[in-house]
C-alpha cells in the first residue's frame, strides 16, 4: 500500500554562508514512500516543527550532531497519524510524535523512534511545543542549568517564542520576577498577558543595557539566553551577585555559523558578579524527561497556562517559514500544518 504514495520532501541543495535563502532548499517529489519492513511504521504528518537548530545543521562546520548532506532530507520534528504498521506496539490510527520526522509529508521509521501522544490531554501539535522539546528545554534550562529560585529576577530573550513562553510561565509560577525581551510591542504585550512582569522591545530602545538596568534595578539573577549577540552583551552589564546564565541558543548568530562571534568581552563582569555561564542541550537530560513532563503537565492542568502558535499551511511553506523564524518574523511557536 505505502509504495503507491508520493512523498514531497525538502532537501538541502546549498550550504548557506550567511543567512539561508529559499534557493538553498528544493522541494522534491520524485520519491515514493518505500514498502515497510518488519518493525517499521508509516506516519502521515499532521504538523511539522520549524526550529532554530536547523540552521546549525546546514553548515559544514562541526556541530553537536552530524549536519545535513547536500541533497539530504532536512530534519524536523513532526506529529501525525500511523497509516500502516508492521510493528506490534502500534496500529493504524495511532497518533505519534517523531523527533526526526524530516521536512516531508510521510515518514517510514523503526517503531522505537516514535512515541504515542495523548490527544485528550493536549492538542497533537503541542507535542512539538510545550508538551515536547521546547517545553523540556525551558524546564531544564531554568531549573537545572540556571537554578532559578523564588525571588530571582529572570530575564528571557526571544521571550514570545516556543521556549520563551514556557520559561516565562514556569519562572512566574516558581515565584520569580520575569522580564521578557522581544522584538516588537505586540510580542511584549503577549508576554505580559501570559505572566511576564515587564518587557523590553530590544529594537526600540536607545540603550538596551540602560533599559535592563531600569527594569531590573537590583540586577539580573538569571538570564535565559535564547539569542546570544547584543542582548547577551547588555545583560552582562547588569548581572547581580551569583547570577546564572543558561545559554540555550544563539539564533542571533544565524548569519555567521562557524565564524567568530565578535563583540565586547565581559569576563570581568562574570568575575565581579561571581556569575556562572553554562550551555546545555535538552537531550542531555533524556533520562529526566518524565520529571519535566510531570512538572509541565501540572502547570498546564492548573489552568492558567497560555501559549501562542504561528501556523503556516502546507509542505510548500517549510523553507520560507524557516527563513521567517531566523528573521524574527514568527509570533509564537512556528508550525506547519500538513
Strand partners, 60: none
Answer yes or no whether residue 282 interacts with ligand NAP by CB under 6 A: yes
Q: Residue 307, CB half-sphere, CA atoms under 13 Å: how many?
A: 28
Which string of b and e fits 7-29 if b means at least 16 CB within 10 Å? bbbbbbeebbeeebeeebbeeee
The interface with ligand NAP within residues 157-176 (CB under 6 A) comprises 158, 160-164
Q: With respect to ligand NAP, which residue has the nearer C-beta, 58 or 282?
A: 282
Which residue, 250 or 296, has its beta carbon nearer to ligand NAP?
250
User: Contact between 195 and ligand NAP (CB under 6 A)?
Assistant: no
**Stretches 3-11, 50-58, 106-114, 263-271: which one binds ligand NAP (CB under 6 A)?**
50-58
CB closer to ligand NAP out of 182 and 235 = 182
What 3-state DSSP class applies to 139? helix
By CB under 6 A, the residues from 234 to 273 that bind ligand NAP are 248-252
Told to check if 142 binds ligand NAP by CB under 6 A, we report no
Query: At closest approach, how far in Å is the CB of 185 from ligand NAP?
Result: 11
Stretch that binds ligand NAP, among 32-40, 89-97, 116-124, 221-229 (CB under 6 A): 221-229
Per CB under 6 A, does 53 bind ligand NAP? yes
Going 55 to 56 to 59 to 65, the CA torsion angle's sign is: negative
Name which of residues 76 to 115 contact ligand NAP (CB under 6 A).
Answer: none
Shortest CB 4 distance to ligand NAP, Å: 35
Residue 165 contacts residue 308 (beta carbons within 8 Å): yes
The answer to whether 54 contacts ligand NAP (rule: CB under 6 A) is no
C-alpha R_g of the chain: 20
Phi-psi region of 205 (alpha: psi -120 to 50; beta: other; left: phi over 0): beta
At closest approach, how far in Å is the CB of 112 from ligand NAP?
22
Q: How far is CA 9 from the centre of its chain?
A: 22
**Which residue carries 552530524 as its cell?**
66
Q: How far apart are the first and last CA of the chain?
A: 21
Q: Quick check: 321 and 336 in contact, CB under 8 A? A: yes
C-alpha cell, 291: 520529571
| Shortest distance, position 226 Cβ to ligand NAP, whole Å | 4
User: Nearest Cα to 223, choosing from 181, 256, 187, 255?
Assistant: 181
Distance CA 280, CA 326 (A): 20
Whichever of 151 and 264 has its CB closer to ligand NAP, that residue is 264
Q: Does 20 bind ligand NAP (CB under 6 A)?
A: no
Binding to ligand NAP by residue 153, rule CB under 6 A?
A: no
Residues 120-139 as x/- pattern, contact with ligand NAP by CB under 6 A: -------------xx--x--
Q: Judge residue 99's burial from the number of C-beta atoms within 10 Å of its C-beta, 0-12 exposed, 13-18 middle, 19 or more buried.
A: middle
Q: How many CB atoms lie within 10 A of CB 5?
A: 16
Interface with ligand NAP, residue 200, by CB under 6 A: no
Distances (CA, A) of 123 to 175, 188, 303, 313: 28, 25, 15, 17
Q: Rank residues 243 and 326 by Cβ distance to ligand NAP and give the closer one.
A: 326
Binding-site member from 154, 155, 182, 273 for ligand NAP (CB under 6 A): 182
CB nearer to ligand NAP: pick between 259 and 274: 259
For the bound state, the minimum distance from the C-beta of residue 145 to ligand NAP, rounded and expressed in Å, comes to 9
Contact positions toward ligand NAP, by CB under 6 A? 51-53, 133-134, 137, 158, 160-164, 182-183, 187, 226-227, 229, 231, 248-252, 280-282, 325-326, 328, 330, 333
Amino acid at each position: 500500500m505505502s509504495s503507491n504514495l508520493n512523498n514531497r520532501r525538502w532537501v538541502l541543495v546549498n550550504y548557506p554562508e550567511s543567512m539561508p535563502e529559499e534557493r538553498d532548499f528544493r522541494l522534491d517529489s520524485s520519491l515514493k514512500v518505500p514498502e515497510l519492513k518488519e518493525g517499521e511504521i508509516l506516519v502521515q504528518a499532521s504538523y511539522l516543527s520549524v526550529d532554530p537548530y536547523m540552521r546549525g545543521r546546514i553548515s559544514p562546520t562541526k556541530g553537536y550532531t552530524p549536519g545535513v548532506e547536500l541533497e539530504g532530507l532536512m530534519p524536523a520534528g513532526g506529529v501525525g497519524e500511523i497509516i500502516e504498521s508492521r510493528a506490534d506496539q502500534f496500529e493504524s490510527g495511532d497518533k505519534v510524535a517523531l523527533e526526526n520526522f524530516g521536512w516531508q509529508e510521510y515518514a517510514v521509521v523503526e517503531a522505537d523512534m516514535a512515541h504515542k501522544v495523548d490527544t485528550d490531554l493536549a492538542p497533537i501539535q503541542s507535542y512539538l511545543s510545550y508538551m515536547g522539546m521546547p517545553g523540556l528545554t525551558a524546564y531544564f534550562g531554568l531549573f537545572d542549568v540556571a537554578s532559578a529560585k523564588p525571588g530571582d529576577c529572570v530575564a528571557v530573550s526571544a521571550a514570545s517564542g516556543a521556549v520563551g513562553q514556557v520559561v516565562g510561565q514556569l519562572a512566574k509560577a516558581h515565584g520569580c520576577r520575569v522580564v521578557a525581551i522581544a522584538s516588537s510591542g505586540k510580542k511584549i504585550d503577549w508576554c505580559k498577558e501570559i505572566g511576564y512582569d515587564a518587557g523590553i522591545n530590544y529594537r526600540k530602545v536607545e540603550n538596551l543595557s540602560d533599559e535592563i538596568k531600569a527594569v531590573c534595578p537590583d540586577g539580573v539573577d538569571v538570564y535565559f539566553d535564547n539569542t546570544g549577540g547584543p542582548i547577551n552583551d547588555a545583560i552582562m552589564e547588569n548581572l547581580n551577585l551569583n547570577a546564572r546564565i543558561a545559554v540555550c541558543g544563539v539564533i542571533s548568530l544565524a548569519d555567521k555559523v562557524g565564524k567568530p562571534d565578535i563583540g565586547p568581552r565581559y569576563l570581568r563582569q562574570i568575575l565581579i558578579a561571581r556569575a556562572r555561564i553554562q550551555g546545555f542541550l535538552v537531550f542531555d537530560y533524556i533520562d529526566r524527561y518524565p520529571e519535566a513532563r510531570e512538572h509541565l503537565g501540572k502547570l498546564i492542568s492548573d489552568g492558567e497556562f497560555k501559549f501562542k502558535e504561528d501556523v503556516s499551511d502546507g509542505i510548500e511553506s517549510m523553507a520560507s517559514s524557516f527563513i521567517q523564524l531566523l528573521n524574527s518574523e514568527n509570533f509564537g511557536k512556528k508550525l506547519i500544518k500538513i
